[in-house]
Homo-oligomer: A and B are copies of this chain.
Amino acid sequence: DKQYKVTVLPGDGIGPEIVEEGVKVLKQAGKQFGYRFQLDFGLVGGGAIDRVQTPLPQETLRQCRDADAVLLGAVGGPDWDQNPPELRPEKALLDLRKKLGLFANLRPVQCFPGLEESSTLKKDVVNGVDLLVVRELTGGIYFGEKYTEKTGKGEKATDTLVYQEHEVERIMRRGFELARKRRKKVTSVDKANVLESSRLWRKVAQRVARDYPDVELEHMLVDNCAMQMIRRPAEFDVIVTENMFGDILSDESAVLTGSIGMLPSASIGEGTKGLYEPVHGSAPDIAGQGVSNPVATILSVAMMFRHSFQDEEAARTIEHAVINVLAQGARTMDVAVPGDLALSTDQMGDRVVEEL
């Protein structure tokens, strides 16, 4: 049996309920494919602030360091929105990314058969959308120096966007490697007509591209990319971009197909360790009602098999199980259309487990 340690961080809002379904699928797929898991549950986000006055307790960080993979639900909620930066649930995400060296955030966006109608874009526009956003996750303006000063004419706030050549290089290589296994096209997104860091970004993209002659490289300005994503999303394959642009563009791309409740993400580094979480947030408004959509978390578990356990077969099996139950008409409330019988969170998880 293959043995892995998985740290599970349910978090806030709907986090616990969707993670429960993710764990069900993890266990079932593990059984089928010969895995033994040691599951370790930890505190993170708002819940951790309430109990131990910090969004990322030392113990949680240790659990994540020890683990082969981390499954995270979601963090945040109105209770902590007014807190100072250090006591906000999101701070846990930023710290985890940085401290675990998870510099690459992968967000695949696909159009699920049968769900084309739930997009606000026309069917022929989202048909065939199959893109992957590769976002740099541990550099840029998120982690640069930031401070506020008092001046004679009021306050003055500064943030700093810094990129080092090697940071750009490693994320770019990751993008090219991934493109090789897909449709062999990288769109490198920057703002090279304004930013110094983007000019470095573009230069490194061009240099790295030489090592991947089989992959096409195109450069696109971030403003144009925000447009093209709505105009012709099916033409993108792999989008590689810096932290802040990636934050904006990946959220934009996530709603293209209308199914943000379905979209998984992986945050990975040099090794095979990764953090897996749904793209959507903690949805405090529907928490505890058992109506949330666990598909994004389940697909994040599939990504865990792919990247952390290097098991493409198990990953695909989970993904096909999800596609099949969706094709059979299984829907949670968020994607149900009039006439559908909406399933609860755990019914949806059970359907995927049965299908496996």
- Chain A residues near B (Cβ < 8 Å): 85, 88, 90, 94, 120-122, 125, 141-142, 144, 146-148, 151, 153-166, 169, 191, 193-197, 199-200, 222-224, 226-227, 229-232, 244-245, 247-252, 254-256, 260
8 Å CB contact of A154 from B166, B230, B255: B166
Beta-carbon contact of A158 and B160 below 8 Å: yes
Q: Which residues of B contact A122 (CB under 8 A)?
A: 120-122
Chain B residues with CB below 8 A from A151, complex form: 164
When distances are taken between beta carbons in the complex, the residues of chain B under 8 Å from A223 are: 247-248, 250-251
Q: Would A121 and B230 count as touching, CB distance under 8 A?
A: yes
**Contact between A200 and B230, CB atoms less than 8 A apart:** no
Known contacts A223-B247, A244-B191; decide if A157 and B163 are in contact (CB<8 Å).
Answer: yes
Contacts of A142 in B (CB 8 A): 194
Cβ contact within 8 Å between A164 and B155: yes
Report B-chain residues with C-beta under 8 Å of the C-beta of A164. Answer: 151, 153-156
Whether the pair B199, A227 counts as a contact (CB closer than 8 A) is no
Residue of A142, A194, A249 most packed against chain B (CB within 10 A)? A194
A165 touches B160 (CB 8 A): no
Q: Are A251 and B226 in contact (CB under 8 A)?
A: yes
Q: Are B163 and A161 in contact (CB under 8 A)?
A: no
CB distance from A328 to the nearest CB of B (A): 26
Pair A230/B249 contact, Cβ less than 8 Å: no
- Count of this chain's copies in the oligomeric assembly: 2
Which of B158, B165, B254 lies in contact with A197, CB distance below 8 A?
A: B158
A298 CB, min distance to chain B CBs, angstroms? 22
Q: Write the nearest CB–CB distance from A246 to chain B, whole angstroms.
A: 10
Q: In the complex, are the beta carbons of B157 and A196 less than 8 A apart?
A: yes
In the complex, A247→B222 CA distance in Å?
Answer: 9
- 17 A-B contacts, Cβ less than 8 Å apart? A88-B193, A120-B121, A120-B122, A120-B230, A121-B122, A121-B230, A142-B194, A146-B195, A148-B200, A154-B165, A154-B169, A158-B196, A159-B160, A226-B248, A230-B255, A245-B248, A252-B252
Query: Could you say which of B163, B193, B222 contacts A90, with CB atoms under 8 Å apart?
Result: B193
* CB atoms of B254 and A155 under 8 A apart: no
Name 9 extra pairs, CB < 8 A, besides A94-B194, A121-B121, A231-B255. A90-B194, A120-B230, A120-B232, A156-B163, A158-B196, A191-B244, A226-B251, A230-B255, A252-B252
Contact of A226 with B227 in the complex, beta carbons under 8 Å:
no
Query: How close is A121's CB to chain B, nearest CB, in angstroms?
Result: 6
Chain B residue with the shortest CB-CB distance to A151: B164
Residues of chain B within 8 A of A94, CB atoms compared: 194
Partner of A252, one of B148, B156, B195, B230: B230
Q: A142, A195, A224, A248 — which one has the most chain B CB atoms within 10 A of its CB?
A: A248
Residues of B within 8 A of A88 (CB): 193
Nearest residue in B to A203 (C-beta to C-beta)? B155
